[in-house]
Structure 1
């Protein structure tokens, strides 16, 4: 690997760590969350941290791989913007679900998050098929999270 890969890897790693840190800071699994009825198929709590750690690593790797293959500054700027938007939507979901205690609003926002991942897959795929494939577990996890979020809303409505 050439040294030219080092700065983008560091930037992507810091960005992924920042999104993960902010999301984790917002996420409160005590108190209110423990009162929510969960579906029987909800995974144990420790699985979330493991899944998100792997996903953030894959997202960072996908970002670097796609970015290194963009043909123009305009394309790379657009790609960075899409990843930034996705990071914002990721954090916003945690804010709505855990801090605002509104799983119903989070479920609506999750649609935007899911679409942003699908767009990232499509755009990254223009520059690197590997980058697009690296994002598939993220899409799968958010799809699963959406089903779980839906069930939490169904089992615990009304909110607010």
Structure 2
């Protein structure tokens, strides 16, 4: 394992994760109608920390493999989209735009998982929790947006 490379991927992940500190859900989000099936509040930081560490490990792993360019380009795209979602949804309160970002993020992550699987089974497996979490987060974004008309920006 190249720890310097891991550190770079972890730094990018930490930058994305820091948006959760800068743009907290707060009273606005607490006051919105949310579906019964939503995850508990404590699950979000645990899930995202796990996802960021696993995706940084997977990216480090595949970065040393021949032909990893496309997979790493997808990794770069997903971390950029991931970084955009929180300030869009919680900061600007643009739930519809957040939904659009979420859809593109889900597609990019699905493609990234596939690309990583083509390079290495274990790297692909490390990314499955990310896709699973987004498969919960996207419908949650949709429901909060649709169940709270006029509550956004």
2:57 corresponds in structure 1 to 61
Q: 1:43 is matched with which residue: 39, 42, 46?
A: 39
Instruction: Confirm or deny: 8 A CA contact 2:51 2:129 kept in the other structure.
Output: yes
CA RMSD of aligned residues (A): 1.6
Moved over 4 A (4+): none
Distance in 2 of aligned mates of 1:125 and 1:10? 22
Matched, 1:136 2:132: no
Normalised TM-score (structure 2): 0.90
Q: CA deviation at 1:78?
A: 3.6
Contact 1:26 1:98 in 2 (8 A): no
Name the residue aligned to 1:99.
91
- Report deviation, 1:77: 4.1
Aligned to 1:88: 80
Counterpart selection for 1:24 from 20, 40, 43? 20
The TM-score normalised by the length of structure 1 is 0.86
Tell me by how many angstroms 1:50 deviates: 0.6
Question: In the alignment, is the contact (CA less than 8 A) between 2:70 and 2:115 conserved in 1?
Answer: no
Partner SS for 1:39:
coil
Given that residues 113 and 128 in structure 2 are in contact (C-alpha distance below 8 angstroms), is that contact kept between their aligned partners in structure 1? yes
Cα distance, 1:30 vs structure 2? 1.3
Structure 2: give runs of 5+ residues left out of the alignment. Answer: none
What secondary structure is seen at the aligned counterpart in 2 of 1:135? helix
The equivalent residue for 2:3 is: 6
User: CA offset at residue 133 of structure 1?
Assistant: 1.1
Rg comparison, structure with higher value: 1
- Equivalent residues in 2 for 1:119-134, closer than 5 Å: 119-134=111-126
Unaligned runs of 5+ in 1: none
Task: For 1:80 and 1:25, locate their aligned partners in 2 and report how far apart those are by CA, in whole Å.
Answer: 26
Structure 2: how far apart are the matches of 1:6 and 1:34? 39
**Aligned equivalents of 1:17 and 1:112: distance in 2?**
21
**Secondary structure at the counterpart of residue 31 of structure 1:** helix
